[in-house]
Amino acid sequence: DAGVIQSPRHEVTEMGQEVTLRCKLISGHNSLFWYRQTMMRGLELLIYFNNNVPIDDSGMPEDRFSAKMPNASFSTLKIQPSEPRDSAVYFCASSLRPGSAGGLNEQFFGPGTRLTVL
Amino acid sequence: QQQVKQSPQSLIVQKGGISIINCAYENTAFDYFPWYQQFPGKGPALLIAIRPDVSEKKEGRFTISFNKSAKQFSLHIMDSQPGDSATYFCAASTLPYSTLTFGKGTMLLVSP
């Protein structure tokens, strides 16, 4: 079984450029999370979707960040324009909602995208 | 406001020793407490989890101890091995479903 797939794995861009990170959920999962990881702040939840609908986007730092789920298995996180302080590792994770088929909140993380904004 | 406080930030343990990582939470509504393990270059992965109706859960060399009155829980790694060297995150949430609130992580190094 393929796990959560993220692309690209590494991204180096210049300040002001648009960055798009991609995530493919595990088949059958219906919840999707985007996280940002830095040494200073640890793992921060940016946004959470359930059944393609954004449920909680309170962690999105500012309007430069946007996330979408165009279908049940795919999501994008876009940063426009990017800034050096956006440099971090971005993870997406997927899970089954317990009410749908059991399970207890286990989130399956992708390998992450390491973003460097120069 | 950080709702899950994790300590220590880093830990060095000799092979065969016991690694202990502690977490404290503030929200009394939390009722699910997982630990995630992250190796360099990888995403975190669920290691072990506990509900507050038990005080301890053991899976192999990994044990969670839970103290509801103190609002604390800890991960014990017995007979620590170099392969256990990783970053460990505690987390908490409320069931039936909510997002996970993560601690800031503990970088564990087990020396050979």
Over residues B59-85, the pLDDT tens digits come to 999 999 999 999 999 999 999 999 999
Q: Does the CB of B32 have a partner CB in chain A at under 8 Å?
A: yes
pLDDT tens-digit series, residues A20-32:
999 999 998 889 9
Chain B hits for A42, CB-CB cut-off 8 Å, are 89, 102-105
Map tokens 């956006």 to a residue.
Answer: A86
CA distance B85 to chain A (A): 17
Distance from CA of A61 to the nearest CA of B (A): 16
Of A100, A36, A48, A67, residue with least CA distance to B100: A48
pLDDT over 50 (residue A102)? no
Between vectors from CA B54 to CA B52 and to CA B59, what angle results, nearest 5°? 110
The DSSP secondary-structure symbol of A8 reads -
